[in-house]
Structure 1
Amino acid sequence: MRHLTTKTTLLIIAISFFLYGNLHSQVKIGNNPATIDASSLLELESNDKGFLIPRMSTIERDAIFSPATVLHVYNTTTSLFDYYDGTIWRCISVRINHVLVQSSADFPAAVAGVITLDSTISYEINGLIIVSDKGMGDE
């Protein structure tokens, strides 16, 4: 049986620590790399730069072989962000002029007992909203 030299043993230990550190590490890129949130695998920090997500056309996106679930891209064909849900690509929609209605107070004020909804606003109602003519400005 052959004995390992001290140099070989130290080299094996150093490589082991290096591999272990890479397998269990966090990465931070930014202004203060010494601090990283304990829950993050990757943290980006900047006061004057942003995160640039991969940009591609729908054809290029669809050519990705076996995309990972929740893979994100910016679709230059639709000018929207897309993600892969594990089965199909989905668009991350942007809600503009959107109101989440949780009570009658979220509707526009009634005029002469009538609530007129703005046709340029999307009203989302989840559940039951009871609207009464009591206290709606109709005396």
Structure 2
Amino acid sequence: MNKILSIIAFSLMLYIPSVSSQIAVNTDTPDTSAALDITAHNNYRGLLIPRMTTAQKLAIANPAPGLLVYDIDYNCISQYKDTPSNPGVFGWTCQTLFNRHFFYMPSVNIPTSDGSGNLLAGIRSVDLYNIYKTRFDAPAIKSTGAPVSIPYFNKEQLYFYITYCDPCITVTGISDVGVLSYTVNSLPDYDAFMNIVFLVR
């Protein structure tokens, strides 16, 4: 009897490695490309990944590239991955807010005059992020049935760029939270243009 049990146990040890290469839940035929294949009966259930705050996510020690969590502060699936602007440096990024990695700033007026035809003197500032957030949070017009607000990124999720600026304005810098600093060189003939681009980190 002991000999038969030993043969069965040995056979199982030989068999387990071949079947443990894939894990299937509620299916006997996992997809050949999947290490884990979950099928919900009647397709009325989904998959819940770990849910946590941003602080809890950032406290994970040595996260593996590709690690996924649901960030309840940003309301997004967050992945630990290469940062687009600095390949080889890993960081957390939201995967479910937008499928675009960059977008243009909503139209914004950059003051150049005090209203009496005089140039504004010294270094001026405009909070680009606040303008973007306000326009997306409370758009002027929406289509029938559209949500009241447009989803927007938090300032910590964005990089800010100026790709073009009319010579009448000199941009002296943009802070990490989207505050643009500039000086006025001359009054524009009609309008001055500046292209402002946001990049998702």
Would you say 1:94 and 2:97 are equivalent positions?
yes
Would you say 1:44 and 2:41 are equivalent positions?
no
Query: How far apart are 1:36 and its partner, in Å?
Result: 1.8
Would you say 1:73 and 2:69 are equivalent positions?
yes
Q: Match of 1:70, SS?
A: coil
Using the size of structure 2 for normalisation, the TM-score is 0.39
RMSD: 3.0
* 1:107-118 matches, cutoff 5 A: none
Q: What letter is aligned with 1:83?
A: Q
Query: For structure 2, which runs of at least 5 residues remain unmatched after alignment?
Result: 83-89, 100-140, 143-149, 151-201
Count of residues in correspondence between the two structures: 92
Which residue of 2 is the match for residue 17 of structure 1? 14
| Stretches of 4+ aligned residues off by more than 3 angstroms | 5-9
Q: What letter is aligned with 1:59?
A: A
For residues 18-50 of structure 1, the C-alpha deviation after alignment (integer angstroms, 9 at most, x for no partner) is 5424543x12213xx122211111111121101
CA distance in 2, matches of 1:73, 1:83: 7
Q: Match of 1:39, SS?
A: coil
For residues 61-112 of structure 1, the C-alpha deviation after alignment (integer angstroms, 9 at most, x for no partner) is 011111110101110111122100151111214238xxxxxxxxxxxxxxxx
Higher strand fraction (1 or 2): 2
Q: Which of 48, 52, 59 is the equivalent residue of 1:63?
A: 59
Using the size of structure 1 for normalisation, the TM-score is 0.53
CA distance in 2, matches of 1:11, 1:77: 52
Which residue of 2 is the match for residue 114 of structure 1? none
Query: How far apart are 1:10 and its partner, in Å?
Result: 2.0
Higher relative CO (Cα under 8 Å, sequence separation at least 6) belongs to 2
